[in-house]
């Protein structure tokens, strides 16, 4: 087999990684340890929290399910390559001690900045501190690193979400970073909240606004050291690595599948014929690492921007899997399911909310009451309230179609040696969406619902029982509706079957 240029580049090098405990971050760590075990080391910026030291947090990190494949071929000694450094992107000098700063400055070769606050509801102050000032702090450290080969900044395709089509380039900001930082320094929270809409203009939230400002901070340093920006879209479970369907994220489709497999999410508001831009986490990981090599070996002195997206190279529409989704849920059911899974797609938020009253809210009230009576902890109403609130914030993202053009990404993928195309694959044109969603359903079952494959037979038996219970429940509830309507209109008792049937047909339109 031909040698791998990417592997050779990373051998004996040191990487400084922020955001290493997040969904993307742990996948990056796993990929490096699996594919480049000869790496010199990975400095992980970690903050002590919940009474745990960074060494304790590192121990917790190594127990993540992402490393299961790694530990089949490597001993736990491989984790000695992980070097935790106490710090926080939200603090001056990243909260690093003088000693840790000196180590990083002396040894680091590649910086991957992945840390960010992803909360679409977050206010301006925390998003400026983490997304904008955090990036500035990382870049300031980069200017001091003695042998920096490349810096890769993980941004988001949605930094330009006010455009329905975007290219792999830097778009102008409506405000300067310094002005926004000064406003955050001088104004109180209520004044900032009042000013926010004027600052955001066409941006949907403070997240996309501050991430766009951060990109311009990266650009200011592109002449000093090689800088690349990678813009992933909605990051979803793994396509191939470390294992198909792996995920620890509840965002996007895997979150919906988690609720649907439990039987508590029964309606999904999506435009079935809109293109949704989902990108598997392993494609983002592989492209990030390839960019570290690509920028480091070409020594560019201008910013390079890459879209890690699917909307133009392999567009996904929910219609392509709509008819199969319930089959997937019943082929890989949960032993812990609360009700019989039956997922239906609705095309608008108001239809979803109307249907939710019947299929989410009323059942949640009943089941939460049962949980209280039996000594359990009621949770379903809280879950549906959170979903309801989040959908109001996410409506733009649910019912808007974006096209993120990615010729630079495609060219980079094609330019790799065949060995690296296999080892660091991010050519998503090869991805088959129906097959991917089969894997994702299994991944959600295994990694989000913590159900092992050996429990599948028992889960399928329970699924059959829930089907009968659901059927009986529907007969009873629509018979009751029929009786109430017959009584209301003064019809004969025998008419309640007709009214019950009409109720059933109307309900199934929701």
**pLDDT tens digits, 200-255:** 999 989 999 999 999 999 999 999 999 999 999 999 999 999 999 999 999 889 98
Q: How many CA atoms lie within 13 A of 354 on its CB side?
A: 11
Contact, 282 vs 239, CB < 8 A? yes
| Rounded distance between C-alpha atoms, residue 342 and residue 345, angstroms | 10
Strands (E), 283-375: 304-308, 344-346
Tokens for 408, please give them: 């630079």
Number of Cβ within a 10 Å radius of residue 323: 8
Tokens found for residue 390: 């989040």
Q: In whole angstroms, what is the distance from residue 99 CA to residue 89 CA?
A: 17
Q: Report in angstroms the alpha-carbon separations of 492 from 133, 449, 477, 505.
A: 72, 49, 19, 21
Provide CB contacts within 8 A for 503, sequence distance 6+.
478, 481, 482, 485
What is the tens place of the pLDDT at every residue in 318-376? 999 999 999 999 999 999 998 899 999 988 888 888 888 777 777 778 777 877 888 87
Contact 302, 14 (CB under 8 A): no
The overall pTM is greater than 0.95: no
Per-10-residue mean pLDDT for the chain, 510 residues long? Answer: 87 97 97 96 92 91 95 94 96 95 97 89 90 97 97 96 94 93 93 92 92 97 96 97 96 90 88 95 98 93 96 96 94 93 88 80 78 78 72 77 96 96 96 96 95 95 93 76 69 61 63
DSSP conformational letter for 81 = G
CB 148 within 8 A of CB 56: no
* Nearest-angstrom CA–CA distance, 258 and 448: 7
Cα–Cα dist 374/426, whole Å: 50
């Amino acid at each position: 087999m031909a040698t791998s240029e990417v592997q050779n580049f990373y051998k004996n090098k040191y990487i400084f990684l922020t955001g290493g405990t997040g969904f993307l971050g742990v996948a990056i760590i796993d990929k490096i340890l699996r594919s480049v075990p000869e790496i010199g080391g990975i400095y992980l910026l970690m903050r002590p929290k919940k009474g745990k030291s960074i060494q304790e947090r590192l121990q917790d990190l190594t127990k993540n399910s992402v490393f299961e494949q790694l530990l089949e071929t490597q001993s736990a000694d491989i984790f000695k390559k992980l070097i935790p450094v106490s710090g926080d992107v939200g603090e001056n000098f990243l909260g690093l001690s003088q000693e840790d700063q000196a180590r990083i400055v002396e040894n680091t070769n590649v910086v991957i900045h992945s840390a960010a606050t992803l909360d679409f509801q977050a206010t301006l102050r925390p998003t400026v501190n983490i997304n904008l000032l955090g990036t500035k702090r990382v870049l300031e450290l980069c200017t001091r690193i003695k042998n920096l080969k490349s810096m890769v900044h993980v941004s988001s395709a949605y930094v330009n979400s006010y455009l329905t089509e975007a290219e792999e380039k830097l778009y102008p900001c409506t405000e300067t970073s310094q002005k926004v930082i000064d406003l955050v320094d001088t104004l109180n929270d209520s004044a900032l909240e009042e000013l926010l809409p004027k600052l955001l203009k066409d941006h949907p939230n403070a997240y996309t606004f501050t991430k766009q400002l951060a990109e311009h901070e990266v650009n200011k340093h592109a002449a000093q050291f090689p800088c690349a920006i990678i813009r992933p879209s909605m990051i979803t479970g793994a396509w191939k690595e470390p294992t198909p369907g792996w995920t620890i994220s509840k965002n996007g489709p895997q979150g919906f599948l988690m609720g649907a497999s439990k039987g508590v999410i029964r309606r999904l508001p999506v435009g079935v014929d809109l293109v949704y831009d989902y990108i598997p986490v392993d494609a983002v990981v592989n492209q990030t690492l390839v960019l570290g090599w690509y920028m480091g070996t070409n020594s560019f002195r201008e910013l390079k921007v890459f879209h890690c997206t699917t909307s133009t190279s392999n567009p996904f529409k929910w219609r392509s899997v709509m008819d199969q989704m319930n089959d997937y849920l019943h082929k890989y059911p949960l032993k812990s399911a609360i009700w019989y899974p039956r997922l239906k797609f609705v095309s608008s938020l108001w239809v979803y909310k109307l249907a939710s009253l019947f299929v989410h809210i009323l059942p949640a009230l009943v089941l939460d009451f049962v949980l209280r009576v039996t000594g359990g902890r009621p949770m379903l109403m809280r879950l549906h309230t959170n979903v309801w609130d989040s959908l109001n914030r996410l409506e733009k993202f649910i019912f808007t179609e974006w096209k993120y053009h990615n010729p630079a990404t495609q060219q980079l993928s094609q330019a790799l040696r065949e060995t690296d195309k296999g080892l660091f694959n991010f050519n998503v044109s090869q991805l088959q969406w129906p097959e991917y969603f089969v894997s994702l359903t299994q991944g959600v079952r295994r990694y989000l619902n913590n159900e092992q494959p050996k429990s599948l037979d028992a889960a399928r038996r329970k699924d059959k029982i829930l089907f009968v219970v659901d059927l009986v429940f529907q007969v009873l509830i629509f018979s009751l509706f029929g009786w109430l309507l017959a009584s209301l209109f003064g019809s004969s008792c025998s008419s309640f079957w007709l009214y019950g049937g009409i109720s059933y047909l109307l309900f199934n339109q929701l």
